[in-house]
Amino acid sequence: MTVMHFIIFMLLFLGLDIALNLLTKKLIKFLGIDFLFLASWLAGINYGIIPGIVVATVLLAEHSLLHPSKSQFILFSFPAQLIAVLLGYFLGMNGFGISLVAYQIVNTGIMFATGGFGPLFVAFLVVNSLFNVIVYRVLLAVG
């Protein structure tokens, strides 16, 4: 893969994440429908660890800017992003389920540690997991 492919990949997911964030911020004011996990995981698979970390960092920054009231929790999720990148890199596409579960376990631990765990976070976990499973299945279907 070339640098240009990576830049296009990152810009595509950045644009999609901005669009989803703006849409959900206006309509349902709820986090969970985003590409923080999936883009980082796919970048780890397709481009490697360092490019995956770059994608994760860019999307975390964008997500935090669009959701300033929750930015501390978003930024604290960086270790979960690293897990997504690493598991993507080492397990590949077949490791989706393990990667998503590990990502959500790390996120849950972070939320417990930072005081962000509660009913809204549980709802976030459910919506976020469902969203990622749906997008993953679409990716598999289109090949």
The two tokens of residue 76 are: 């604290």
Q: What is the pLDDT of residues 51-102, one digit of tens each?
A: 999 999 999 999 999 989 888 889 999 999 999 999 999 999 999 999 999 9
Both tokens assigned to 131? 């969203």
Residue found under tokens 């644009």: 15
Name 64's Cβ contacts closer than 8 Å, sequence gap at least 6.
71, 74, 75
Please answer whether residues 10 and 18 qualify as being in contact, where contact means their C-beta atoms are separated by less than 8 angstroms: no
d(CA 102, CA 100): 5
Helix axes 36-47, 49-66, angle to 10 degrees: 160
Confidence (pTM): 0.94
Tokens of 82: 């690293």
Q: What residues does each domain of the chain span?
A: 3-142
> pLDDT at position 67, please?
87
Residues in contact with 106: Cβ distance below 8 Å, sequence separation at least 6, in sequence order: 77, 79, 80, 83
DSSP 97: H
Question: Count H helices, E strands: the chain?
Answer: 7, 0
> Over the chain, what is the mean pLDDT?
94
